Amino acid sequence: MANTWFPQWRKREGNLDGAVIAPDERLPFGSTVIMGLQHTVAMFGATVLMPLLMGFDANMAILMSGIGTLLFFLVVGGRVPSYLGSSAAFVGLVIAVTGYSGHGANPNIGVALGGIIACGVVYTLIGFVVMAVGTRWIERLMPPVVTGAVVMAIGLNLAPIAINSVSASSFDSWMAVMTVLCIGSVAVFTRGLVQRLLLLLGLVAAYLIYMVITNGLGLGTPVDFSAVAQAPWFGVPAITTPVFSSHAMLMIAPVAVILVAENLGHIKAVAGMTGKNLDPYMGRAFVGDGLATLLSASAGGTGVTTYAENIGVMAVTKIYSTLIFVAAALVAIVLGFSPKFGALIHTIPGPVLGGASIVVFGLIAVAGARIWVQNQVDLGLNGNLIMVAVTLVLGAGNFTLSLGGFSMGGIGTATFGAILLNAFLSRSKQVKTQPEIKTGTEAALKDH
């Protein structure tokens, strides 16, 4: 590990087309700002969508994502390029503990904040343990077969929330379908950085189409911009005081396990792209993310995590300078202090938001399968097969276990069920399940 906390960033100038910019290198000031803006746009879609799905203040979420990213930058010593945005792992549990209806502000947000703070504390403590003993114990406890199953279970658990949000009327359902098609079109028919912004650009396209249909043609509920006109350009977001409920804290704190698995995978991906060993900074990264989550919830923001969207932008641009994320964080902080910007976000129609959530929750589920593919997980092994099968049903069916006053919902039972089942079943030599597969010729001969 380096002797100094921060690296000595080397300035890169001249023709940089196609050049790889390392984390400890920096671009000229103007280029750094432009790249920072690009990363702000990349994180924007999900960082705004997640608080809206939970009834949080989107302005506060954006503001705290910027502050959290700066805190992360300080804790890791500017050595791990990452942006921290709103985590989807909290959505299902926050809705469960608050009883949120899916529309407007969440009246019980304080209870959720107390739970998220508890999660941040657990996450930070895990980070300190990793700093002391390394990550090998985490990799043994949560191998790719487990993390993939947990991530997929989260996506499946959230699926009913997305569908119920767009089922109020036939019009809402069709507008959700239109939103899915917009996002899908950007994902498939565009290239480069535009394709990386599929959620944001798809959401904007669906918003405009919805306005034409409602405000223009008079069908459905029109978009109301009166709140945008009345909102000031600059102001401080409303701070919400956390409420520490033991029930909510016990339910939400285990999300730390999911964040650890998520962050571990993201940092491994960045290490592979940069060719640098980031394992010495893994514990710092967990502590930084945990403290950022704790700080965010203390003010009324969402729990945060390192963002795959920004890793995708780095993969395309080959620019990994950590100073770019300082610029992105500062842009987010400026946006967070604009009530007019927040009011504009809240004009996003419910059906459009619901359509986007269908895509987002589906992508979370698919990300679990992607973990299996990338790590060549063998689902032919009986132990793996049973663990995955049980985990997915626990998550999708929202299986709940209660003991006294403590209750653990589907995401919690799926997470701990996967870890415990894997630990138990992997103790024995696993046998492959080999179903009999007949070729077309064999089947035809048997039929005759």
Tell me if 254 sits within 8 A of 416, measured CB to CB.
Answer: yes
Each residue of 45-81: b (16+ CB within 10 Å) or e? bbbbbbbbbbbbbbbbbbbbbbbbbbbbbebbbbbbb
pLDDT of 152: 85
Q: How far apart are CA 277 and CA 85, in angstroms?
A: 24
Model confidence pLDDT, tens digit, residues 162-191: 787 788 788 888 988 999 999 888 888 877
HEC string of 261-327 equals HHHHHHHHHHHHHHCCCCHHHHHHHHHHHHHHHHHHHHHCCCCEEECHHHHHHHHHHCECCCHHHHH
Each residue of 339-359: b (16+ CB within 10 Å) or e? bbbbbebbebbbbbbbbbbbb
- Close Cβ partners of 271 (under 8 Å, ≥ 6 residues apart): 277, 278, 279
Model confidence pLDDT, tens digit, residues 380-394: 888 889 999 999 998
Quick count: other Cβ atoms within 10 Å of Cβ 184?
13
Note the Cα 383 to chain centre separation in Å: 28
Lookup: tokens for 97: 């503990």
pLDDT winner (highest mean) among 98-112, 182-196, 387-401: 387-401
Q: How far apart are CA 255 and CA 411, in angstroms?
A: 8
Stretch 338-361: mean pLDDT: 81
* Amino acid present at 255: V
Tell me if 422 sits within 8 A of 169, measured CB to CB.
Answer: no
| pTM of the predicted structure, to 2 decimals | 0.73
Model confidence pLDDT, tens digit, residues 260-319: 877 887 787 778 777 788 888 889 999 999 999 999 999 989 999 888 767 777 776 778
Model confidence pLDDT, tens digit, residues 208-222: 998 888 888 888 788
